């Protein structure tokens, strides 16, 4: 076992060991990212076996919630105690959560154990990025940080397919059991090879109050944003929880301003490069989460694809993401320049979303794939460039904290973006469907369908034969009247659904333009190991 304690960056390890460490943290990162998507195709079987239809959405929410709120805490702890003990603890918790999730006998158990899984996964992204920051100097980090974007893209592509294959062959339990041998490899490599980096020999002080208040702020905000999928902004379970979370967040700022070792040092936000990167990542996440979520739904509803097939249909988007993430990392590593790339990525993202906003039911697939690829090219560099900027703008003892803060705002931006995009989608669909129906079927038929329209719309995704679903949802007395017009109704739904989906990308264009403006104020400095004294956070 490696006993070395690194005292300067980059950590001094031999090239072979360094490669093993990078492979291990990327594998751990892959498992954590995979478990965000792999459950989707397995969930119908899980819900059936565990009789949990009433709380099935919490299978996703519990994982996302604990992973998001724990990230900043893990980041700070890794700065205080070193990456190695934090990663070992997190991997162990993730594996325990995976084992218990696979052994669940009731839905409430499954949700609780998914929360345990997320509690472990919360460290794997920010601390893995911090490990790369420790292992390489600023001139080398780019090519390795670019791999992170590729790992996320790959997990998004194959996650639904893996979940479907495992569920259909050996059972949904193995969706979680498969993590155990792979996670054991990650644990073993980290245990054996990763040195503990301690920037300071001072006795660590843990900000327990700050951590508690941070959790108290993020939990209601994330739950409120999740509830927005089925509620209105004015609902107490949506707007009320978000307002409560923001009020507690104000208390968190006050607490952190007085803490000796704050979980999120407010002085970081006086660092121009850090603040611009965080804001840019937040608004860019608002923009690019919409196509990742809504395009698969479009392929299922309008294209008739299964959940697994829809994952493959967005391969063009994720292919562009992977290619640009890796290429941008290499470019930054070779040139030491990143502002032009960040600006170009934000502009490209806006162009891609503008093209996608022209989506219609009859859009040819090759054209749509081209639009998606362009959008992906704009997304990819975001994963690597802003991490590089943040890690280069702070002192070594703040790399974990700064990286985890960046990932926190990425998650929050995505959650806010999806809540707003969902609102735009729902309101536009309600507006467009009557208009499309009135141009396709007689008024009395449109009126007869109207009684069941809302129920049909809410269950469009994954219904298979939409025509049969329309008839099944219609009142028995109206079915005979509706049946001759079902093809026209289906076409009207496809057109309305496409227009509503396209409007979510219009919102993303605005977010991408904000990202362009913010990045324009970024002050570029040559790649370096860490910030000059005048750039350090107070």
Show the tokens assigned to 384.
């690597």
83-92, 109-118, 140-149, 328-337: least confidently modelled range: 140-149
pLDDT band of 446, cuts 50, 70, 90: low
Q: What is the pLDDT of residues 297-318, one digit of tens each?
A: 888 888 877 766 776 788 898 8
pLDDT band of 480, cuts 50, 70, 90: low
Q: How many CB atoms lie within 10 A of CB 339?
A: 16
52-56, 145-149, 317-321, 532-536: least confidently modelled range: 532-536
Instruction: Examine the pLDDT at 6 and tell me if it is beyond 50.
Output: no
Phi and psi angles of residue 521, each rounded to the nearest 5 degrees, phi first: -90, 0
Locate tokens 């345990």: which residue?
116
Q: What is the pLDDT of residues 200-220, one digit of tens each?
A: 555 667 888 999 999 999 999
In the prediction, which pLDDT does 199 show? 53
H or E stretch at 245: helix 241-256
Cis geometry, peptide bond prior to residue 10 (ω within 30 degrees of 0)? yes
Instruction: Examine the pLDDT at 513 and tell me if it is beyond 90.
Output: yes
The CATH number of 7-201 is 1.20.1250.20
Q: What is the pLDDT of residues 272-286, one digit of tens each?
A: 999 999 999 999 999
Is residue 179 classed as helix, strand or coil in its secondary structure? helix
- What is the percent of the chain where pLDDT is above 70? 85
Distance separating alpha carbons of residues 424 and 411, to the nearest angstrom? 20
In the prediction, which pLDDT does 278 show? 94
For residue 463, what are the CA distances in angstroms to 34, 38, 343, 473, 511?
A: 25, 20, 41, 12, 32
11 vs 257, residue with greater confidence = 257
In the prediction, which pLDDT does 283 show? 94
CA-based torsion, 26, 32, 37, 39: positive or negative: positive
Instruction: Examine the pLDDT at 516 and tell me if it is beyond 90.
Output: yes
Q: What mean pLDDT comes out for the span 113-129?
A: 89
* Closest CA relative to residue 38, chosen from 308, 433, 389, 386: 308
pLDDT band of 486, cuts 50, 70, 90: confident
254 vs 528, residue with greater confidence = 254
For residue 320, what are the CA distances in angstroms to 337, 352, 377, 386, 522?
A: 21, 11, 5, 18, 25
* Highest-confidence segment of 244-253, 300-309, 487-496, 519-528: 244-253
In the prediction, which pLDDT does 473 show? 60
Distance separating alpha carbons of residues 40 and 212, to the nearest angstrom? 31
The CATH number of 265-425+504-538 is 1.20.1250.20
Phi and psi angles of residue 136, each rounded to the nearest 5 degrees, phi first: -130, 150
* Closest CA relative to residue 385, chosen from 324, 445, 427, 441: 324
Q: What mean pLDDT comes out for the span 52-70?
A: 83
Pairing of strands 196-197, 5-6: parallel
Is residue 260 classed as helix, strand or coil in its secondary structure? coil
Distance separating alpha carbons of residues 61 and 524, to the nearest angstrom? 38
Q: At what angle do helices 107-135 and 15-37 cross, to 10 degrees?
A: 150
HEC-encoded secondary structure of 30-83: HHHHHHHHCHHHHHHHHHHHHCCHHHCCHHHHHHHHHHHHHHHHHHHHHHHHCH
Distance separating alpha carbons of residues 264 and 217, to the nearest angstrom? 13
Is residue 436 classed as helix, strand or coil in its secondary structure? helix
Q: How many CB atoms lie within 10 A of CB 215?
A: 18
- Phi-psi region at 306: left, alpha or beta (left = phi > 0; alpha = psi -120 to 50): beta
What are the residues whose beta carbons fall under 8 Å from the beta carbon of 484, sequence distance 6 or more? Answer: none
In the prediction, which pLDDT does 504 show? 92
Q: What is the pLDDT of residues 349-400, one digit of tens each?
A: 999 999 999 999 999 999 999 999 999 999 888 877 888 888 888 887 888 8
Q: What is the pLDDT of residues 228-272, one digit of tens each?
A: 877 788 899 999 999 999 999 999 999 999 988 888 889 899 999
In the prediction, which pLDDT does 52 show? 77
- Phi-psi region at 337: left, alpha or beta (left = phi > 0; alpha = psi -120 to 50): beta
Distance separating alpha carbons of residues 189 and 456, to the nearest angstrom? 50
How far is the first Cα of the chain from the last one, in angstroms, to the nearest whole number? Answer: 37
What are the residues whose beta carbons fall under 8 Å from the beta carbon of 451, sequence distance 6 or more? Answer: 474, 475, 478
Q: At what angle do helices 466-473 and 443-458 cross, to 10 degrees?
A: 100
Instruction: Examine the pLDDT at 529 and tell me if it is beyond 50.
Output: no
Is residue 197 classed as helix, strand or coil in its secondary structure? strand
pLDDT band of 132, cuts 50, 70, 90: confident
- What is the percent of the chain where pLDDT is above 90? 32
Q: What is the pLDDT of residues 157-205, one digit of tens each?
A: 677 778 778 887 888 999 899 999 999 999 999 998 888 765 555 566 7
Task: Indicate the average pLDDT of the chain.
Answer: 82
Q: What mean pLDDT comes out for the span 427-456?
A: 70
């Amino acid at each position: 076992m490696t006993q070395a304690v690194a005292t300067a960056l980059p950590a001094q390890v031999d090239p072979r060991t360094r490669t093993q460490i990078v492979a291990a943290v990327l594998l751990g990162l892959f498992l954590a990212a995979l478990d965000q998507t792999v459950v989707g195709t397995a969930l119908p079987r899980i819900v059936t076996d565990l009789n949990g239809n009433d709380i099935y959405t919490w299978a996703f929410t519990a994982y996302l919630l604990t992973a998001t709120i724990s990230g900043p805490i893990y980041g700070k702890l890794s700065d205080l105690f070193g990456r190695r003990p934090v990663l070992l603890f997190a991997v162990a918790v993730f594996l325990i959560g995976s084992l218990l999730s696979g052994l669940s006998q009731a839905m409430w158990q499954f949700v609780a154990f998914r929360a345990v899984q997320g509690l472990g996964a919360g460290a794997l992204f920010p601390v893995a990025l911090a490990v790369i920051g420790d292992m390489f100097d600023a001139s080398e980090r780019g090519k390795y940080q670019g791999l992170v974007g590729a790992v996320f893209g790959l997990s998004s592509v194959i996650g639904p397919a893996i979940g479907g294959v495992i569920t259909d062959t050996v059972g949904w339990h193995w969706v979680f059991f498969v993590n155990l041998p792979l996670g054991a490899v990650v644990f073993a490599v980290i245990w054996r090879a990763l040195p503990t980096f301690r920037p300071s020999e001072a006795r660590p002080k843990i900000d327990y109050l700050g951590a508690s208040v941070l959790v108290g702020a993020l939990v209601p905000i994330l739950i409120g944003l999740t509830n927005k999928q089925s509620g209105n902004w004015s609902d107490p379970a949506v707007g009320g929880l978000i307002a409560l979370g923001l009020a507690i967040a104000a208390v968190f700022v006050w607490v952190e301003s007085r803490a000796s070792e704050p979980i999120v040092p407010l002085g970081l936000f006086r660092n121009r490069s850090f603040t611009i990167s965080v804001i840019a990542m937040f608004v860019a996440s608002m923009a690019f989460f919409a196509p990742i979520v809504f395009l698969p739904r479009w392929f299922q509803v309008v294209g008739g694809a299964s959940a697994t097939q829809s994952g493959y249909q967005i391969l063009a988007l994720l292919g562009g993401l992977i290619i640009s993430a890796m290429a941008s990392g290499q470019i930054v590593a070779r040139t030491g320049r990143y502002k032009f790339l960040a600006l170009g990525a934000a502009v490209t993202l806006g162009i891609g979303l503008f093209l996608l906003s022209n989506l219609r039911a009859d859009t040819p697939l090759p054209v749509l794939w081209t639009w998606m690829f362009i959008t992906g090219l704009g997304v990819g560099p975001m994963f690597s460039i802003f991490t590089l900027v943040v890690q280069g703008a702070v002192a070594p003892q703040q790399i974990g904290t700064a990286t985890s803060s960046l990932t926190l705002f990425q998650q929050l931006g995505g959650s806010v973006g999806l809540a707003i995009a969902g609102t735009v989608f729902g309101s536009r669909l309600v507006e467009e469907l009557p208009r499309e129906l009135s141009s396709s079927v007689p008024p009395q038929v449109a009126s007869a369908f109207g009684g069941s329209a809302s129920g049909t719309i809410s269950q469009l995704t994954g219904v298979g034969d939409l025509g049969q679903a329309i008839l099944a949802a219609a009142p028995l007395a109206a079915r005979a009247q509706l049946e001759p017009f079902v093809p026209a109704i289906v076409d009207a739904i496809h057109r309305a659904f496409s227009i509503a989906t396209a409007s979510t990308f219009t919102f993303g264009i605005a977010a991408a333009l904000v990202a362009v403006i913010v990045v324009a104020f970024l002050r570029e400095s040559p790649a370096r190991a860490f910030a000059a004294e005048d750039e350090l956070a107070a």
